[in-house]
């Protein structure tokens, strides 16, 4: 065609992807990301499963990084529900480690169940006796009731219980929480018609309407249980604080909470100081020097997904609503610095 003949205009068409195309690409990347995270989670779970001694991981805390002799810090924090959780794992780790020459109990707990507190106290005491390990106590923000009960696993030594200046301690006593909701239930025209094998099977039921005679009978039984467990608590305190005579013991076992200064004056603790002071005392009792002692602590292992997204505090456990309700409605006796039963478990 001759060059002087006009040419039709050139049309340039820019094609855009459809809406589905754009979102489809994003969805593909999202699915790929989820797949990667799932793979990491599986890898982390497998790594933890096959790791030797994966219940706790030892970490350096302070003093010499190369010393073979160790001082182990055992962390006891939060409500004490049982003796088979993170605290038990730490104790078992120390039992298998002959290089541990002393133990520092780092307690920051308001207490918990009678059985859980007693089991932890027993296991620490037995380990200390079997291995001749000095036990020193370092109290955090609160070391009350069951927390103080565990602190008595110190072997009755002098100068081994340290409390920080702001520590609350004491609350030596037993409580079986009970709430009478029977009148409230009646207002909603609800009746507790549970079938039981005997009249005492429903002791502590918050919805049962009792006769005055049955109520008095139940209260006498429960008070006898509290009195017996309280007697054991006082005996444990006497073992851990042998210098307390009967008069002083009666004065501090009223359920009262004490400040650090008050506790020291009453003979419940030895010194006001921080964990470093307790560690120094443990090193001394073990016959070591600071240059010849490595202080270690323990944490729970995490999977790779926990490291990426963050996880719970060491030793913590997720609790379902059903578990919380079941825990609240289960009759228990408590060495606890609270009038309200714990609604969470910590696995301590």
Residue 321, pLDDT score:
56
229-248: pLDDT as tens digits: 999 999 999 999 999 999 99
Catalytic residue among 109, 145, 171, 205: 145
| 70: annotated active-site residue | no
Closest CA to 62 of 313, 286, 283: 283
Look at residue 217 and tell me whether its pLDDT is greater than 90: yes
**Which one is predicted more confidently, 224 or 26?**
224
Residue 55, pLDDT score:
84
Percent over 70 (pLDDT), the chain:
72
Confidence grade of residue 329 (pLDDT, cut at 50, 70, 90): low
Residue 45, pLDDT score:
40
* The token pair that represents 329 in the structure block: 């409605």
Look at residue 219 and tell me whether its pLDDT is greater than 70: yes
- Phi and psi, residue 141, nearest 5°: -65, -40
- Does the pTM exceed 0.85? no
Look at residue 119 and tell me whether its pLDDT is greater than 70: yes
Look at residue 46 and tell me whether its pLDDT is greater than 80: no
Catalytic residue among 38, 84, 201, 224: 201
Say how far residue 271 (Cα) sits from the centre of its chain.
25
Look at residue 343 and tell me whether its pLDDT is greater than 50: no
Residue 48, pLDDT score:
38
Average pLDDT, integer, range 108-124: 95
Q: Residue 117: count other Cβ atoms within 10 Å of its Cβ.
A: 30
Q: Tell me the C-alpha distance between 72 and 61, whole Å.
A: 9
Which residues lie below 8 Å from residue 171, measured CB to CB, with a gap of 6+?
110, 111, 144, 145, 148, 255, 256, 257, 336, 337
| 101: annotated active-site residue | no
Look at residue 101 and tell me whether its pLDDT is greater than 80: yes
Look at residue 147 and tell me whether its pLDDT is greater than 70: yes
Domains of the chain are 58-177+227-336 (3.90.226.10)
Q: Tell me the C-alpha distance between 220 and 222, whole Å.
A: 6
**Which one is predicted more confidently, 49 or 155?**
155
Closest CA to 236 of 337, 317, 335, 305: 335
* The token pair that represents 95 in the structure block: 């039992």
Residue 185, pLDDT score:
87
271-312: pLDDT as tens digits: 999 999 999 999 999 999 999 999 999 998 875 545 555 544
């Amino acid at each position: 065609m001759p060059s002087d003949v006009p040419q039709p205009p050139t049309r340039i068409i820019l094609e855009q992807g459809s809406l589905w195309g754009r979102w489809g690409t994003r969805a593909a990347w999202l699915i790929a990301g989820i797949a990667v995270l799932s793979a990491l989670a599986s890898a982390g779970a497998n790594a933890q499963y096959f790791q030797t001694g994966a219940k706790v991981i030892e970490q350096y805390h302070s003093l010499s990084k190369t010393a073979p002799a160790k001082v182990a810090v055992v962390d006891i924090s939060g409500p004490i529900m049982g003796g088979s959780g993170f605290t038990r794992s730490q104790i078992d780790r120390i039992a298998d480690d002959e290089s541990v020459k002393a133990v520092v109990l780092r307690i920051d707990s308001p207490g918990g169940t009678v059985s859980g507190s007693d089991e932890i106290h027993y296991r620490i005491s037995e380990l200390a006796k079997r291995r001749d390990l000095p036990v020193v106590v370092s109290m955090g923000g609160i070391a009350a009731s069951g927390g103080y009960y565990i602190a008595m696993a110190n072997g009755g030594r002098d100068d081994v219980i340290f409390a920080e200046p702001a520590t609350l301690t004491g609350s030596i006593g037993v409580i079986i929480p009970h709430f009478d909701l029977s009148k409230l239930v009646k207002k909603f025209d609800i009746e507790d018609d549970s079938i039981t094998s005997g009249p005492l099977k429903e002791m502590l039921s918050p919805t049962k309407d009792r006769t005055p005679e049955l109520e008095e009978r139940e209260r006498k039984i429960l008070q006898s249980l509290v009195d017996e467990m309280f007697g054991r608590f006082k005996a444990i305190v006497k073992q851990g604080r042998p210098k307390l005579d009967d008069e002083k013991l009666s004065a501090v076992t009223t359920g009262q909470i004490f400040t650090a200064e008050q506790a020291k004056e009453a003979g419940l603790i030895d010194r006001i100081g921080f964990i470093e002071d307790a560690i120094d005392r443990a090193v001394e009792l073990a016959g070591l020097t600071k240059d010849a002692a490595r202080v270690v602590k323990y944490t729970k292992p995490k999977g790779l997904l926990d490291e990426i997204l963050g996880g719970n505090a060491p030793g913590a456990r997720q609790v379902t609503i059903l578990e919380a309700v079941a825990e609240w409605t289960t009759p228990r006796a408590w060495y606890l610095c609270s009038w309200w039963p714990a609604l969470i478990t910590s696995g301590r």
